[in-house]
A and B are shown apart, each in its own frame.
Chain A
Amino acid sequence: MTANTTREITYLEAVREAMVQEMRLDQEVFLIGEDVGTYGGAFGVSKGMLEEFGPERIRDTPISEAAIAGAATGAALMGMRPIMEIMFMDFLTISMNQLVNAAAKMRFMFGGKCSIPMVIRAPSGSGTGAAAQHSQSLEAWFVNVPGIKVVAPSSPYDAKGLLVTAIRDNNPVLFMEHKLLYRMKGPVPEESYRIPLQSAEVKREGRDLTIVAYSIMVPRALEAAEKLAVEGIEVEVVDPRCLKPLDVDTIARSVSKTGRALIAHEAPVTGGFGGELAAVIVASEAFDYLDAPIRRLAGRDVPIPYNRTLERAAVPQVEDIVAAARALAQEGK
């Protein structure tokens, strides 16, 4: 990364730039999904790509999420590198047979004699007033399926570097793009670069407690950490970035240092990925350093409501993280 080519772009532009650069390098990479062409994608991520790459590689589809997933899976089986855009992560419910029973399993089920290099780009999360069927965070379902990798970047820099890696990966990779992060700006190098998938990052250092957060919860945790710093509580924020495969070491090292762990995610708490994070912390060397129980701050066990007040209340906000972290910092003292 050289400073003179780095400029500020949005998360959405970073995602687009990763796709564009990979498509320029490799004819076998293509984008397939609903309204990705002339419309530019429901959120505008593929805007302008049709003009550069044409309708064959920026492929508009019928509203057929099972067939879109099948088209990506089959093309990947043939050695191409499709990027499938699902308009909303919620619609992956219709793609599940292809993703879970075909894409994830073919390699193992056929004795390791094929691979499925594809990316499933999925706008996720609440906060846009889109209600219960356009706001979900379904990562826990996919993490529980051997054969799929799951990535959830929290910044423009991470989005570009992780997407390039995901496109180059020889397996199905679910790439979660939080809708509220699309407009977030940050420094991103113009040239292509890769971030290894299994690499958590310490987003902020601190001594008093660790917040393990991913996707939208990372900027919220960082904002909470600023507020807590004023009170003298120094929070360390660790972003796994990739949920599967998971970089347990970086998380365990941080919790060993601080002795306290707060896990934050937007998906409903019951059966959420936070349970897995808590389990790997307990099973690691960090267990001996824990000064307080591990706490989970996650979405409430409700469908995402439409009303703004209810919607905010359904998932952790900055003030919720501040309160939970403050309490945890004092717990057992």
Chain B
Amino acid sequence: MTVLTPEIETAAPPSSQRLLKELPREKLAWMLQRMCEIRYFEEKAEDLYIRGQVHGTMHLSIGQEAASVGSIATLRPEDLIIHHHRGHGHTIAKGANLTTMMAEFLGKEPGYCRGRGGSMHIADIPGGNLGATGVVGGGIPTAVGIALALQMRRTDQILLSYFGDGATNEGEFHESLNMASTWKLPVVFICDNNQYGMSMHVTKVMNIQHISERAASYGIPGQSVDGNDVLAVYEAVLAADEHARSGQGPSLIDLMSYRWRGHSKSDRNLYRTPQEIDEWKHKCPIRRFKQVLVDGGVMTRDEVEGIDQTAKTAIDHAAEEALTFPEPSPENMEAEVYAP
């Protein structure tokens, strides 16, 4: 089966060329910068771990930057996201403060969750990031409730609900998509399809070609998209946003990409070949977007590399600062469990 290892085009398809002209230059620059920040954040995270400066686990999304940035770039500031354990990309794309985020990764008191959540559970609630869940598919039913509140309150906000390919085999996925579609809730279900649920390739755990085919059983639109093409992601998710915002209900968008790193820090990649990983590294979404921007005459090579360097510097500064932050105190933890 070849469907879920799509040959990613190195040149942008026609839709991207159109978007390249339609989107303001600042927006495109914003997208590139966020993608670079995600890459550098995760490389820094990995580096800190190797140097023994991180206590806990982490799940890296290196190689999937176009999916989180292209989708969140479609949102209005007041829109919301809920996501999953591989969530650094969504968090940065939603506008997280990099130092506060790095502090949470390091388990520091000034972190987003005061060191209680860590890499897997970063939430920035005032910023519309309603948190990452570590149980596969566990955010999807919660997304139904968030979207229900948006609908009952007659807002025109929408929610992006992210989960991985493995989550679409969970019962919670089925219950939630059925309920959300029945009630036409303002949510877009986004599958960050990196092709592996830990060691299991999608072709070993489902008998369909595209995850988006599952949309048919809920009577909602479904689309599988080249998740390494940030503009293709943008275009597909924007259409789904409008569908949701106009009261027509959810869609299922399958963003096909690939994770370069292992599932988590202990993965020895026994289930795939180095050749396969290298092939996908050649389809790097950041390098590709830079080329599209240069070829499309939006920016010069120096300008895209300048953005890249700005992102790298921002991450270096965030890490330097966060490393100096204080540890949380174990006193009175019980008092934090319940709201007054």
A residues whose Cβ falls under 8 Å from a Cβ of B: 30, 56-57, 61-62, 64-67, 69-80, 82, 97-98, 101-102, 106-117, 146-147, 149, 170-171
Contact = CB atoms under 8 A, between A and B. Distances in A.
Contacts of A106: 123, 131
B135 interface: yes
B147 A108 contact: no
Contact of B152 (A70, A80, A146): A80
Contact of B142 (A30, A102, A108, A147): A102
Given A64-B175, A77-B142, A110-B131, 8 more contacts: A74-B142, A79-B149, A97-B141, A101-B133, A101-B138, A107-B338, A107-B339, A147-B337
A108 B328 CA distance: 13
Nearest to B117: A109
Contacts of B123: 106, 109-111, 113-114
A106 B146 CA distance: 14
A67 B144 contact: yes
Interface string B114-135: 1111000101011000110101
A111 B143 contact: no
Nearest to B112: A111
Nearest to A70: B141
A112 B114 contact: yes
B145 A75 contact: yes
Contacts of A71: 141, 144-145, 148, 179
B338 A102 contact: no
Contacts of A108: 116, 336-337
14 contacts: A30-B152, A70-B141, A71-B145, A71-B179, A74-B146, A76-B145, A77-B130, A97-B172, A106-B131, A111-B116, A112-B336, A114-B125, A114-B130, A171-B338
A74 B141 CA distance: 8
Interface residues of B, number: 44
A265 B318 CA distance: 55
A106 B133 CA distance: 9
A110 B178 CA distance: 28
B52 interface: no
Shortest beta-carbon contacts, A-B, top 4: A70-B141, A74-B145, A78-B149, A115-B339
B246 to A, nearest CB: 19
B330 to A, nearest CB: 13
Interface string B313-340: 0000000000000000000001011111
A197 B133 CA distance: 30
Contacts of A114: 123, 125, 130-131
B171 interface: yes
Contact of A64 (B112, B133, B143, B178): B178
Contact of B113 (A97, A109, A116): A109
A66 B338 contact: no
Given A66-B141, A71-B179, A149-B338, A102 B133 contact: yes
A109 B176 contact: no
A110 B121 contact: yes
A109 B130 CA distance: 12
Given A74-B147, A78-B146, A147-B337, A111 B111 contact: yes
B31 interface: no
Given A97-B138, A102-B138, A113-B125, A78 B145 contact: yes
A65 B171 CA distance: 10
B182 interface: yes
B150 interface: yes
Contacts of B150: 78
A111 to B, nearest CB: 4
A72 B179 CA distance: 13
B337 A146 contact: yes
B233 interface: no
Most interface-central of A65, A67, A107, A117 (chain B CB within 10 A): A67
B329 to A, nearest CB: 13
Nearest to B80: A78
A174 to B, nearest CB: 13
B140 interface: yes
A170 B339 contact: yes
Interface in B142-176: 142-150, 152-153, 171-172, 175-176
